[in-house]
Amino acid sequence: MIPTGTGHAPCHHGEILQGVFLDPGGRRCAALVTLPMAGPGSQARFVRRPGTAPDALTVAPADRTKAAHAALLAVEECARRTGLPPCGGQLRLAGDIPVGLGMGSSTSDVIATVRAVAASYGLSLAPETVARLAVRAELACDPLMLDGRPVLFAQREGRVLEVLGPALPPLVVVGCALGGGAPVDTLGLPVPEPSDADIRDFERLRALLRRAVATGDARLLGEVATASARHGQQALLHPEFDALTAVARRVGAAGVQIAHSGAVAGVLFDPAAPGLRHRLRSCLRALDAHGIPATRTFTTFTTSKELLNGPAHRGGDRPAGPDTPRRPARLPAL
């Protein structure tokens, strides 16, 4: 029997908070907190070919170079753990994550690949190991290998600086795309050196987010996300930023979040807010009036269909997580 493994990884909907923070040793460290999004993801299938050279690797689609690098690294890791010689193989990827919007498409490919390679060796690698391999494969990665808990994650080092709590406050998110959905060249963005005042501000937002998670305060989380998006706007310069924040204020949203390395954005709502269905519909109309295309309304605890057609229910709902069965997401082509 040919040794074969499969792997899956979710995506996210951009960042709630991103900046430069102090690690436990007092060292400055770039880090982020992502907004989980159930549904879209990457699937990988790896067929191991014993007896072939490690670089005898074929990848489909052929342009997934980061996933190919991840496969080589994962084979090396798994061969060492099992005592088997490294070998080549065939990697096939599939998924439905829009590319270039800041939803973690490349990290999702990489993590799914690492999991598929490990499965072909009969292994299940710890999240810390997957993170280490992902950073080596693409220089920086999102925390999609974790269990969905809100964490402050050092994306260039693949390590958790802080677990903020068990789950984010329940949220309803009206997703949209800025800049017409055009991909953002992350590597082409300026990277200004943060000042001491910037560090203090990021640490203040970190403390507020910690409190929002601890108390389940969606409105406080929205304030943190909006402030973080405003920081990011200094580099991203989205022309729709003022319109987006004005829409959020007008419809009584908790705030906005914007991917710091892409064009995806979201208007955040507290599901317990009165008149939620009316607020959501007003938000969609306002976004359309400003020429900002809406993508998908989703939540971290139930289905958007229930929210749009009936009252929201908090009790007993399970927080979103990468292993929760979900219906496939349908994001329109952007």
Q: Is residue 322 part of a domain?
A: no
CA angle 249, 254, 257 (to 5 degrees): 95
- The strand ranges marked E within the chain are 4-22, 28-49, 57-60, 88-95, 151-154, 159-163, 172-177, 255-258, 264-269, 294-299
> What is the spatial distance between Cα 63 and Cα 65, in angstroms, rounded to a whole number?
6
**Residues 61 and 205 occupy one common structural domain:** no
Taking the alpha carbons of 308, 313, 318, 320 in that order, is the dihedral positive or negative? positive
Q: How many domains does the chain have?
A: 2
197 lies in the same domain as 172:
yes
Are 213 and 168 in contact, with CB atoms under 8 Å apart? yes
For the whole model, what pTM was predicted? 0.87
Picking from 139, 180, 146, 174, the residue whose alpha carbon sits closest to that of residue 162 is 146
In a domain, 103, yes or no: yes
Instruction: Count the neighbouring beta carbons within 10 Å of the beta carbon of residue 65.
Output: 12
Convert 231-253 to b/e letters by CB count within 10 Å (16 or more is b).
bbeeebebebbebbbebbeebbb
Same domain, 150 and 176: no
**For tokens 């997580």, what's the residue?**
321
Query: The domain containing residue 71 runs over which residues?
Result: 4-161
User: Could you report how far apart the first and last alpha carbons of the chain are, in Å?
Assistant: 42
- Are 180 and 296 in a shared domain? yes
**CA-closest candidate to residue 104, choices 293, 232, 228, 261:** 261
Measured in whole angstroms, the distance separating CA 256 from the mean position of its chain's CA atoms is: 16
Structural domain includes residue 318: no
Residues 72 and 189 placed together within one structural domain of the fold? no
Q: Is residue 59 part of a domain?
A: yes
Contact between residue 2 and residue 261 where contact means Cβ atoms under 8 Å apart: no
Neighbours of 162 (CB within 10 A): 17
Tell whether 176 and 133 lie within a shared domain.
Answer: no
CB burial class (10 A; 0-12, 13-18, 19+) of residue 126?
Answer: exposed
Tell me the per-residue pLDDT of 42-52, one tens digit each, with 9 for 90 and over: 999 999 999 99
- 3-state secondary structure (DSSP) of residue 226: helix
Q: Are residues 226 and 253 in the same domain?
A: yes
Each residue's pLDDT expressed in tens, for the chain with a length of 334 residues: 889 999 999 999 999 999 999 999 999 999 999 999 988 899 999 999 999 999 999 999 999 999 999 999 999 999 999 999 999 999 999 998 888 888 999 999 999 999 999 999 999 999 999 999 999 999 999 999 997 789 999 999 999 999 999 999 999 999 999 987 666 666 566 667 889 999 999 999 999 999 999 999 999 999 999 999 999 998 888 999 999 999 999 999 999 999 988 889 999 999 999 999 999 999 999 999 999 999 999 998 754 444 554 443 333 332 333 333 333 333 443 3
Whether 119 and 189 map to the same domain: the answer is no
* Residue 308 parent element (H or E): helix 304-309
